[in-house]
Amino acid sequence: MTRAQRPMRADAQRNRQRVLRTAAEVFAAEGLSVPVHEIARRAGVGTGTVSRHFPTKESLYAAVLLDRMGQLSGYADSLAAEDDLGTAFFALFGRLVREGAAHRGLAEALAGSGFDIEAAASSAGCNVSDRLRRLLSEAQDAGAVDPGVTFADIKALMAGCLAYDGPDPDRVIDVISRGLRVPG
Amino acid sequence: MTRAQRPMRADAQRNRQRVLRTAAEVFAAEGLSVPVHEIARRAGVGTGTVSRHFPTKESLYAAVLLDRMGQLSGYADSLAAEDDLGTAFFALFGRLVREGAAHRGLAEALAGSGFDIEAAASSAGCNVSDRLRRLLSEAQDAGAVDPGVTFADIKALMAGCLAYDGPDPDRVIDVISRGLRVPG
DNA sequence: GTTCAACCGGGATGACGATCCCGATTATTC
DNA sequence: GAATAATCGGGATCGTCATCCCGGTTGAAC
Q: How far is A104 from chain B (nearest CA, A)?
A: 9
pLDDT tens, A12-48? 999 999 999 999 999 988 889 999 999 999 999 999 9
Taking only residues 83 to 112 of chain A, the set having a beta carbon closer than 8 angstroms to any beta carbon of chain B reads: 104, 112
Options 1.10.357.10, 3.30.365.10, 1.20.1250.20, 3.40.50.2000; which CATH number does A69-180 get? 1.10.357.10
pLDDT tens for B69-88 read: 888 888 888 887 788 888 88
**Burial status of residue B70 (CB atoms within 10 A of its CB: 0-12, 13-18, 19 or more):** middle
Chain centre to alpha carbon of residue A96: 7
- A122-141 per-position pLDDT tens digit: 777 777 888 888 888 999 99
So where are chain A's domains?
Answer: 9-55, 69-180
CA B40, CA B58: separation in Å to the nearest integer? 15
Q: Given a cut of 60, is residue B66 above it in pLDDT?
A: yes
- CB of A148 less than 8 A from some CB of B: no
Residue B184 has pLDDT above 70, yes or no: no
A114 touches chain B (CB under 8 A): no
Band of residue A184 on the pLDDT scale cut at 50, 70, 90: low
HSE-up of residue B58 (Cα within 13 Å, Cβ side): 10
Closest protein CA to C1' of nucleotide C28, residue: A9
> How would CATH label the architecture of B10-55?
Orthogonal Bundle (1.10)
User: What pLDDT does A3 receive?
Assistant: 45
Say if CB A36 and CB A57 are below 8 A apart: yes
Write down the pLDDT at residue B101.
Answer: 62
Residue B159's pLDDT is what? 62
Least confident of A125-129, A167-171, B73-77, B116-120: A167-171
pLDDT digits (tens, 9 = 90+) for A65-114: 888 888 888 888 888 778 888 888 888 888 887 776 667 778 778 877 77
**Which of chain B's residues have a Cβ under 8 Å away from the Cβ of A153?**
168, 171-172, 175
The answer to whether some atom of strand D lies closer than 7 Å to the beta carbon of B33 is: yes
In whole angstroms, what is the distance from residue B141 CA to residue B134 CA? Answer: 11
Q: Is the CB of B58 within 7 Å of strand D?
A: yes
CB-CB contact of A19 with A34 (8 Å): no
Task: Please check whether the two domains, A9-55 and A69-180, share a CATH topology.
Answer: no
Q: How far apart are CA B103 and CA B5, in angstroms?
A: 32
* Homologous superfamily in CATH for domain B65-180: Tetracycline Repressor, domain 2 (1.10.357.10)
Please name the nucleotide lying closest to B37, CA to C1': D17
Q: What is the fold of A9-55?
A: Arc Repressor Mutant, subunit A (1.10.10)
The 3-state DSSP class for residue B169 equals helix
Question: Phi first, then psi: what are they for B36, rounded to 5°?
Answer: -55, -40
